[in-house]
Structure 1
Amino acid sequence: MARQNKFYLRLATFVAVIVILLAAGPFYIVNEGEQAVVTRFGQIVKSCTSTGLYFKVPFLDVVTVYPAKILSLEGDQARIPTKENQFIIVDTTSRWKISDPALFYQSFKTLDAAYNKLSDVIDSSTRTIITRNRLSEIVRSSNLINEEKDSADSNQLAGIEGEDSAEIEALVNVNSNNESVSKGRSALCQEMADDARKMVGEYGIELIDIVPRQIKYSDELTESVYNRMIKERNQVAQAYRSLGEGKKSEWLGKLENEKRTIESEAYRKSEETKGKADAEAAAIYTQSYTRDPKFYEFWKSLESYKNTMGNFDVTYSTKMDYFKYLYSSDGKRQ
């Protein structure tokens, strides 16, 4: 009987131990998109990067699960000077993942700590690369703007010909191109990522890329850019005004020349007409004179009296031959 009681006691003890072990969870599951690190007394026992069911020592092993997916880090806005010492506001976003969970656990243990460290590294790399390059390299990826500008300038000058087009080009400086880009924003983003990878590789992190989500001018630079744009537009407007004033003067000069030409031609024709009329009148006078010379002389004398007598107030002599037709009672020459 005592032996039977001991047997049941041992069996109950064994069952209790099994139940306690099962309750403590000797198994753990690594799901899709996860990876795990198993530690015992703070020391890493193993890491699991594949999905499946795994065993651990109850009460001794601790499982820390990390995401195996690609993670994103939204950086804070930073005020950074360019190579020309022009300040811009840069806001970056990055993609990364945990490549070595054991090394990641040794370095950070928690994701929050990793985010803080990675943010500092990315900010440092972004600042380093931007300060080494010109503003045009940061905001542009190609020289397409120069090609589009040449096309726009051609369209703008399409209605202007020859010397006028050359004049406009000289006034508005349409042949000036923006700075050529040798690297571009894409290459600089790659340089930022390469520089940051040198520092995060030892933390079990794989940095995929760094992309500027937003690049904008600082307040003082924005005002300077707007003022430059206004100045350029005013320069273009003044160029067209100057061209218009020049055209106006040119056409007024042509108009005046044509006016003088027309007046000169009209005067010439009027003089020719007058000359022909005088010639015809002289011919008529000559024909009349040959018919009756005395009447012709009398008629010419009356015309002369009509034109000159009004200029005399008093006549002091009646013996003048000029008045020979005035003092005859029958109107004949005395």
Structure 2
Amino acid sequence: MHQPIESRPVSLPRWPMILALFLGLIVLVAFARSVLIVDQTEAVYVTEFGRSVRLIDTPGLHWKWPYQSRRGFDKRLQLDSPPPREMLTKDKKNLEIAWYVSWRITDVEKFLRSVRTLPDASARVEDMAASVLAAELGGHDLAGLVRVDRSSALDAMMADVTARVADQAGKEYGLQVVDVRLRRLNYPEEVRSAVFEQIRSERKKVAAKTRAEGESKARTIRSAADLERAKTVAEAEAEAARVVGEGEAESTRIANAAHAADPAFYQFLKTLETYRAALDQKTTLVLAADSDFLRLLTRGVANPAPVPTPSVARTAQTAPKPETEPAPASETKP
């Protein structure tokens, strides 16, 4: 009889599987290293063993060899605001200057050869702007820079600073400096209070001088106005006196003409006017029986003068003016 043969599992070698997995891993890594994604805010340089091969600035999906590397740079406008520094003006004024610089990368190859990173580029631009700004500030007085009108030299100075920094940064680092501007211009903290006190004292002197000049001009204007007013009042008073004199002369002429036309009637009217002025509601008269005033009140005029004819009236108008007015017909006796 034959004995049964035992079945044993056949063991396959493991190295082909390991090799397949290793090759797959290599292919996967190679594929991942071949894919190049460029963002719209950056520019990418493809380098081969440290040497720049090509520049890609179009956003999207790109390819490269697995052994090649990518170097991305932000192509947007960079804004640096370094801490303030103390600088001297032409008139030896110590100021604390704070500024900002805006720049971007334009020549990536030159940028890679010179600074290579954005922080290094910021430091270089900061030092460059500080040196140029200190040189330009040393050629101007503080009074010429700090002005409120259009004659200030600050705008022209900052334009020169921007042009010099842009020219130097473009030649050395491949950077485009867009603008260099001041953020703050002030005295140092340790001397600021004393300087402000001096400014207040000077402003008070200027204000006092201005007030004195204004008061002097005000007095001059008031004197001229008073003189003009006195002249106008004198002319008005002279004209009023002339008009009053003419009126009185005309009144006297009319009265003389009326007196010459009927002297008795004129004397009677003047007597009545005298009585009207002397008597009022508070006056009490004690008259004698033979008083002319009582006789006038009770009997009237004894013999009134006849009304003159036209010829007589004309003759009376041409008569000479009496030197004195006739006395009243009777006197008032208390």
**Distance in 2 between residues matched to 1:250 and 1:55, nearest whole Å:** 93
User: Which runs of no fewer than 5 residues in structure 2 stay unpaired?
Assistant: 1-13, 226-334
Structural mapping, 1:121-136, within 5 Å: 121-136=128-143
- CA apart distance, 1:205: 0.7
- CA apart distance, 1:245: 8.0
- CA apart distance, 1:45: 2.7
- CA apart distance, 1:13: 6.3
User: 1:267-303 CA distances to partner (integer Å, 9 max, x unpaired)?
Assistant: xxxxxxxxxxxxxxxxxxxxxxxxxxxxxxxxxxxxx
User: 1:72-129 CA distances to partner (integer Å, 9 max, x unpaired)?
Assistant: 0113212222222223322111211011222212222221111111110111111111
**Distance in 1 between residues matched to 2:216 and 2:41, nearest whole Å:** 69
SS at match of 2:140: coil
Residue in structure 2 matched with residue 112 of structure 1 by the alignment: 119
Residue in structure 2 matched with residue 74 of structure 1 by the alignment: 81
**Distance in 2 between residues matched to 1:9 and 1:141, nearest whole Å:** 81
SS at match of 2:40: coil
Residue in structure 2 matched with residue 261 of structure 1 by the alignment: none
Task: Find out whether 1:198 has 2:167 as its counterpart.
Answer: yes
Residue in structure 1 matched with residue 199 of structure 2 by the alignment: 225
- CA apart distance, 1:249: 10
Q: 1:240 to 1:77 in 2, by over 3 A?
A: same
User: 1:160-193 CA distances to partner (integer Å, 9 max, x unpaired)?
Assistant: xxxxxxxxxxxxxxxxxxxx55xx3222111001
* Structure having the larger proportion of residues in helix: 1
**Distance in 2 between residues matched to 1:93 and 1:231, nearest whole Å:** 37
**Distance in 2 between residues matched to 1:133 and 1:92, nearest whole Å:** 17
Asked whether the equivalents of residues 141 and 186 of structure 1 are also in contact (C-alpha less than 8 Å), the reply is no
Asked whether the equivalents of residues 87 and 221 of structure 1 are also in contact (C-alpha less than 8 Å), the reply is no
Greater length-normalized contact order (CA 8 Å, ≥ 6 residues apart): 1
SS at match of 1:125: helix
* Percent identity of equivalent pairs: 20
Residue in structure 1 matched with residue 28 of structure 2 by the alignment: 19
RMSD, aligned CA: 3.9
TM-score by length of 2: 0.54
**Distance in 2 between residues matched to 1:77 and 1:8, nearest whole Å:** 66
TM-score by length of 1: 0.54
User: 1:182-218 CA distances to partner (integer Å, 9 max, x unpaired)?
Assistant: xx32221110011112321120110001111122345
Larger Rg: 2
**Distance in 1 between residues matched to 2:180 and 2:25, nearest whole Å:** 55
User: Which runs of no fewer than 5 residues in structure 1 stay unpaired?
Assistant: 144-179, 252-334
Residue in structure 2 matched with residue 276 of structure 1 by the alignment: none
Structural mapping, 1:249-260, within 5 Å: none
- CA apart distance, 1:35: 0.9
Q: 1:16 to 1:137 in 2, by over 3 A?
A: same
**Distance in 1 between residues matched to 2:48 and 2:174, nearest whole Å:** 20
